[in-house]
Chains A and B, each alone.
Chain A
Amino acid sequence: MGVVRRLLNRWHEPALHAEFDEELRFHLDARVDANERAGMTRADAEAEARRHIGSTLRATEGMREARISGLFEGLARDIRHAARMVRRQPATAFLAVLTLSLGIGANAAIFSLLNAALFRPLPFPDAGRLVAVVDRYRGDGGGLSGGVTGPTIPELLDVTQRSQAFAGLSFFDMRDTQTYGGLEPARVFAARVEPSMFSLLAVRAAHGRTLRPEDSAAGADPVVVLSDGIWRRSFGADPSAVGRSLTIDRRPFAIVGVLPPDFSIDYLSPEAIEIYLPYPMIPIYTSRSGPFANVRRVTAVARLQPDVSLEQASAEVRTIGGTLVLEHPEIYRADGSGRTLGFEMDVQPLRDLVSGPARRTLLLLWSAVGLVLLIACVNTAQLLMAQAIEREPEMALRGALGAGRARLARQLLAESLLLSCAAGAAGALQAVWLSRALRWLLLDRLPVIGQVSLDLPVWLVTAGAALGTTTACALLPVLRLARVGPGPHLDGRSTVVARGRPRHLLIAVEVAVSVILLVGAGLVVRSLMDLQRARGGFSSDGVTLMRLRGMSAASGPVGPLGATYRRYLERISQLPGVEAVALTSSPVPPPPGVEFTVVGQPADAAALARQSASYQMVSGEYFAVLRIPLLQGRTFNETDVAGRQPVAIVSAELARRLWPGRSALGQQIHAGPGPRAATMSIVGVVGNVRSPRQLEDAPQIYVPILQQDEPSVALLVRPRPAALVSASSVKQAIWSIVPQQAVFGVRPLDEVLSQAMDGDRAIAILLASFALLALAISTAGVYTVVTYITARRTREIALRRAIGATAYDVLTLIAGPTLTWTIGGLLAGIAGAVAVSGVFAAALPGVATIDAATVALLAGVYLTVVAAAMCVPALRALRLEPAGALRAE
């Protein structure tokens, strides 16, 4: 109503003023006329009228106040004033904007990760009701213990049959497949999908159709659905691709559909899925009795019924899991001994499965940048307060002249608003490139952040952080203003030293928080160094890794693979320049763990208990290729093939633990996952190998890969010194045996191993940079305070010097209290770091508890930097020429 009109009136202020003037002039003229009519001379009449009317200025001002809202007018004036003040102290303003924007930018970037990983819904309709069904082994279940894994298909079929909680349940797994037709056989990453997945996720084909239940039936015609990606890359986005045939693993598949570009279950996959095949619902997969039935695990997705909560669904699935343990003790109880494996089934939000372990890491990073922002904030409050105290005489004067407290407070807020806009804008810029850098740094460790974008929620958080922090920064000086009266500033005692306690308390807070960050980052960096140093016991330089999914020379995707592998190895080892070539099931260590038992009567009864070790299938030359020393016995040879006595090679660590002081050769162990479990004789002992991220020697078991039908393998090729072996010559050798064999992922092993630590390195780098940022900002804070104190006490220092104070006295005077508070903050920070050090364990494996050496080192570094920051202004004070300084005020 009136308020709006009064606001709008601001726009025609000049017109209004003209009206005010006209109205007043009429009043004046009317009075003059009346006076003249009463017989006065013109001059007298005018003089009387002017006296009578009083102050026209007051009238105009009064009318203006009545008609025009002052709401924004004051603000505009404040901002203009603020801009003037900022221009007057550009260094201070620059420092404040810089520190704040660093804090804001880092926060926005980390929050964009957090948002993508934890908060933003997955891109499926009603994604909040999607859950994952998982298995959990709580007991001492060897390799599975404590872990969450995908369920098996028979388990899922039971859940589907018995539960009421789900509106739909589906599953998939992923595998390498190969296609032909291009320049060379190509590897295609495929998902095998139970067909109801598409309706469960409410996705329709962009062309053709998605999969139908009958596609999964035994004997159904083989069909395939393409992802948008492969459709564009390999089919030129031609809609007529539907209906054509695609040869996958030597069998023709009819292309029945193409998925839309935005559909992807890649979130749940280590690599982008290119094609979707129907999961064959045949007895070897669906029954509990097949050789792989209880080993093959899938990713299960379900949609909750509309009226069912996560808790209800969880309770129901747990009950079903409990029943399964009773029904199938041969599976869920070890050795039939009745010992439980702690098997449980459960559901969890699909989102948790996607973000998984990233959650704690991201929250840790976010807390770290939150602390950086806190320090930046405290620092800016310091700067603003120094400025405010600087200007107290001015404020006091303006207060005495009638400016209300609220008016002055508004002025300070306007200044902080100006700073926050600048800092927010600069922070947004930094967020853009920082989030790009983060994406690049962390993509390997957190696939979900491939979806990171700086979207509206991120910008809202950024803007909120900018406004919130600067307002908080302005609050301290405003509160202080409320306490300070004009008295001391107007009676000439302006050199009165302001009470330093709150400022020093802020310093202590800054120091404490940065020390926590520094110590935490120190721990993480040290553990990174440990992890990097850990790798050892083998040599990977010069070795090339090539992955393949094995195909037997005979037709059919799976068959006795050992014979084919043997021919590959023979042919490749004859290539010129090849020193040694080997196959392994685990291209990037560490290999998965398994349980095993010692067979027979060991001296130590405890050795009969179940042990766990890593388990890897390798060919005989593996140890030669990686230069792992053979300590005893022999390596695998051409006699260790399918159908012969199973044998194993163990690491020195395993031998040391089980047969200390005796030879491990000839001992027998029972080991292997699922159907691969066998009783094996130990024929050799090799040196311990530590893979990246592995801090301790662990027991290792190697079994001959030629005895197994393992399709997913990697070739390791070591060239002779100074020789080169081209990948294409290796491929040609393989194709001369199996022309359809796709060879992919060709990379130097060194690079693969180093990349395994990229995520760790990125996190350590981030934490370290945040800590250094905190160090820089808090040092700037200390510097500001000491500079300020020195400036305030110039006259006092000069006086003291004049009457004989030594340099030491002056230094104590200037830096003493700050140093005391800094040390206080340092100690508090160390205590805080000790208290929260456990949190940093979320960053990397092997983050140790705090050790005195790290703390002492970092504290020393910190104190040195802070002392240097203090010395600069303090030394400046010492160089003062007493007489000049005394005259200055």
Chain B
Amino acid sequence: MRDNKKDQLQGTLDLLVLRTLSTGGTMHGYAISERVEQVSRETLRIEAGSLYPALHRMEEAGWVKATWDVSSNNRRARFYSLTATGKKRLAEETAHWARLAGAVGRVLKNA
């Protein structure tokens, strides 16, 4: 649906979310943001204002699917998991990111 290539920041956010879901399985929004924060050692903080629009957008795009379920503290929460399309998308985004990071790295080292 939407090609995020033109918006690098948004693309990065999508990549982080997709990657987190691919390792963490089914997670709610709070868990995703905590996980990213934790894994990036508090360097990357995702605000709700960015996270939830991204999740809903990816849901509309069919990369993730969402269901209401009961969380560990016995409250209703919206749980997200990766779809097949989402997995393919993750692979593409990862490859793209790796290419980009490699390129930037080479420029920083050699230019």
Contact = CB atoms under 8 A, between A and B. Distances in A.
Interface SS of B by simple majority: helix
Interface string A492-522: 0000000000000000000000000000000
A5 B60 CA distance: 9
A33 B73 CA distance: 10
B104 interface: no
Contact of B30 (A2, A27, A54, A58): A27
A421 B50 CA distance: 42
B78 interface: yes
Given A26-B28, A55-B47, A59-B48, A66 B53 contact: yes
Interface string A1-38: 01001100000000000011011101101110110000
A237 interface: no
B52 A24 contact: yes
A29 B77 CA distance: 11
Given A2-B61, A26-B28, A30-B30, A59 B73 contact: no
A469 B84 CA distance: 51
A59 B77 contact: no
B60 A54 contact: no
A67 B60 contact: yes
B96 to A, nearest CB: 22
A66 B60 contact: yes
A55 B51 CA distance: 11
Given A27-B29, A63-B53, A66-B57, A22 B47 contact: no
B56 interface: yes
Contacts of B73: 30, 33
Contact of B75 (A20, A24, A26): A26
B67 to A, nearest CB: 12
A6 B59 CA distance: 12
Interface in A56-96: 56-59, 61-63, 65-67
A54 B47 contact: yes
A67 B60 CA distance: 7
Contacts of A19: 78
Nearest to A25: B75
Contacts of B56: 62-63, 66-67
B60 A56 contact: no
B52 A59 contact: yes
Interface string B34-69: 100000000001011111111011011110000000
B107 interface: no
Contacts of B108: none
B71 interface: yes
A53 interface: yes
Nearest to B66: A23
B49 A58 contact: yes
A5 B29 CA distance: 23
Contacts of B76: 22, 26
A218 B49 CA distance: 100
B111 interface: no
Q: Taking each of A2, A57, A63, which has the highest tally of chain B beta carbons within 10 Å of its own beta carbon?
A: A63
Nearest to B45: A52
A34 B38 CA distance: 14
Contact of A54 (B48, B57, B59): B48
Contacts of B78: 19, 22-23, 26
B74 to A, nearest CB: 12
Contacts of B62: 2
Contact of B48 (A2, A6, A27, A34): A27
Nearest to A30: B30
Contacts of A6: 60
Interface in B11-34: 28-30, 33-34
Question: Of A6, A27, A55, which is in contact with the most chain B CB atoms at under 10 Å from its CB?
Answer: A27
Contacts of A31: 30
B1 interface: yes
Contact of B49 (A26, A30, A33, A55): A55
Given A26-B77, A27-B30, A2 B1 contact: yes
A28 to B, nearest CB: 8
Contacts of B60: 2, 5-6, 66-67
B106 to A, nearest CB: 35
B49 A29 contact: no
Contacts of B75: 26, 29
A54 B52 CA distance: 12
Contacts of B77: 23, 26
Contacts of A26: 28-30, 71, 75-78
Nearest to A2: B60
Nearest to A19: B78
Contacts of B1: 2
Contacts of B34: 34
Contact of A53 (B47, B53, B71): B47
Contacts of A52: 45
18 contacts: A2-B60, A22-B76, A26-B29, A26-B30, A26-B71, A26-B76, A27-B33, A27-B48, A30-B73, A52-B45, A59-B48, A59-B50, A59-B53, A61-B53, A62-B53, A62-B54, A62-B56, A66-B60
Given A55-B48, A58-B49, 6 more contacts: A2-B61, A22-B76, A23-B29, A26-B78, A27-B30, A62-B54
A-B pairs, 9 with minimum CB distance = A62-B53, A54-B47, A58-B49, A66-B56, A66-B57, A30-B30, A53-B48, A59-B49, A27-B30
